[in-house]
Structure 1
């Protein structure tokens, strides 16, 4: 397993000023570099405490690039539907050069109705806009004199500058929460996969991974080169009881944040998002104890978390990459730093590996 950290803020001005959150997060980036973690990632969301402090992952990752030399820098994910592909391709290519070729580019569809409304984008178009945006960005990265005639965007001939440093382009990931078809499409296209185990059962996720891996192989992509990244909230403390106390508080606040963000699904229906009208009720049924029982959270003393990770490896394979959600903003910087140090020093080495 490889390990990195992912930032998904679920705080707003009443909880913590944005400047303080970013200062703490960037100090944790420094620590990730020092401890040898594989990557740093950050989400894209708007308006709500649920991710709203991160409307532009590239801005944060550019700051992280200037402070580091080794750790990879990932979007988790950025949304093609909300930007022109020429603009997004250019920003990510620029970041790839600034960072010395360390960008991992993950793209997602988004799922919050209020975000689509703000951009004036019909939510029913999300899948088509996602596919078109990723296709256009990859062509802009890897071709010259690009002429693009899509459903939503037409341009060219244009040659993007700067060219990405990584050839033919940065690794492309697809971020999916629920869709089995998205996993299949990612495998066929040779895109890597990011997902969140918290939103589906273990059996559902195992099924999606089988589909992804089989479609990857059937499409003729090099065997064993596919990358799968999981994101897990993570709180580790020498005192397992203290870790549980902190983890419960953090999970309760995270659940409250998403409950507000998905509220508009009560009055929204979309064939592109079957079943999403049930999200509001699902967030009300979300319980910390159940998540712990189902290994949806990495919380406890070092030996407890090591056991949780061994179970995850048994379920999904020991070649997956784990992104640790160490700082949603509700716990202190010191708590997040303790989690990272204990993972690096007491958990990961006992899994039979180590950090770089």
Structure 2
């Protein structure tokens, strides 16, 4: 992800650039600190650093990391990252890393650190409130009930650290797609379900296919029908997407929504058309409705 940030930094000048996410247990933390510093320098202070602990057994095995230890490794590596960003010279004596006094010469432009976003469950939400980080949440392909449950988890995490819910920012990762073309919508839903099946296969440690490379797409108990997915998600006509987003924002009250429109084999032309639709119609309408609601 940081390589993509560095690439985009040279093509842009104002948009902020984020990672969603760097899987901390798969990195060497001292090296990652240098790469974070470099990415923020070439972006002239526009880096948003998203970190997570990972979930794919397939991936962890190939990096030689025990996935069962991922939460503990993540926690320790985040400690190291924070030390390295906040201190000119730092050291660390932990369960997984022992680092003598060390200076990272490639320092971030943003001081003391770029904004940090944490992905994950309740324990990491609580850490975000304790240390002032932001965090990502997702409801996958579920609907309003799951978003309400997420909001309750956010409120509990804030209360556990005696913080206000608004003390940190929340970003919701959401599958969204606007179109009046039924075939295009069904193609999007098929791609979204396909991606979810592969994610579950990697998470639940299923075997690879016979060629040892591509994973097998296997229907699972988590599968939802296209009808249910359309009911649950901001998918459909422009007006339907706008209305649904406003419902979801009212329940979860996120600061940002990470809109996931690029899935599967959609071509660039289709995606550019989708981006223009969001920029021209959906985002302005949502912002206008929220401004009216706020006033």
So what's the TM-score if we normalise by structure 2? 0.85
Q: What corresponds to 2:282 in structure 1?
A: 347
Q: What corresponds to 1:332 in structure 2?
A: 267
Inter-partner Cα distance in structure 2 for 1:280 and 1:82? 29
Matching of residues 111-122 of structure 1 within 5 Å:
111-122=55-66
Q: Deviations for 1:6-32, whole angstroms, at most 9, x for unmatched residues?
A: xxxxxxxxxxxxxxxxxxxxxxxxxxx
Inter-partner Cα distance in structure 2 for 1:264 and 1:98? 34
Matching of residues 68-87 of structure 1 within 5 Å:
68-87=12-31
Q: Find 1:232's aligned residue among 149, 157, 174.
A: 174
Name which of structure 1's ranges 195-204 and 224-233 shifts more when overlaid on structure 2: 195-204
How much does 1:349 deviate? 1.6
Inter-partner Cα distance in structure 1 for 2:55 and 2:18? 20
Matching of residues 272-311 of structure 1 within 5 Å:
281-283=220-222, 285-295=223-233, 298-311=234-247
SS at match of 1:174: strand
Structure 1: gaps (5+ residues): 1-56, 269-278
Q: What corresponds to 1:92 in structure 2?
A: 36
Name which of structure 1's ranges 259-268 and 245-254 shifts more when overlaid on structure 2: 259-268
- The answer as to whether partners of 1:80 and 1:107 remain within 8 angstroms in 2 is yes
Q: Find 2:3's aligned residue among 59, 78, 81.
A: 59
Q: What corresponds to 1:208 in structure 2?
A: 150
Q: Find 2:255's aligned residue among 301, 316, 320.
A: 320
- The answer as to whether partners of 1:101 and 1:166 remain within 8 angstroms in 2 is yes
How much does 1:256 deviate? 2.4
Q: Cα–Cα, structure 1 residues 169 and 142, in superposed 2: closer, same or farther, change >3 Å?
A: same
SS at match of 2:44: coil
How much does 1:261 deviate? 4.6
How much does 1:185 deviate? 3.0
Inter-partner Cα distance in structure 2 for 1:184 and 1:201? 24
Q: Cα–Cα, structure 1 residues 87 and 334, in superposed 2: closer, same or farther, change >3 Å?
A: same
How much does 1:199 deviate? 5.5
Q: What corresponds to 1:256 in structure 2?
A: 194
Inter-partner Cα distance in structure 2 for 1:111 and 1:330? 24
Q: What corresponds to 2:115 in structure 1?
A: 171
- Count of residue correspondences: 278
How much does 1:114 deviate? 0.6
How much does 1:260 deviate? 3.6
Q: Give the root-mean-square deviation of aligned CA atoms.
A: 2.4
- The answer as to whether partners of 2:33 and 2:81 remain within 8 angstroms in 1 is yes
Q: Cα–Cα, structure 1 residues 304 and 205, in superposed 2: closer, same or farther, change >3 Å?
A: closer
Q: Cα–Cα, structure 1 residues 68 and 226, in superposed 2: closer, same or farther, change >3 Å?
A: same
How much does 1:340 deviate? 1.3
Q: Deviations for 1:270-305, whole angstroms, at most 9, x for unmatched residues?
A: xxxxxxxxx97344x23222122123xx32222121
Name which of structure 1's ranges 144-153 and 319-328 shifts more when overlaid on structure 2: 319-328
SS at match of 1:198: coil
SS at match of 2:166: coil
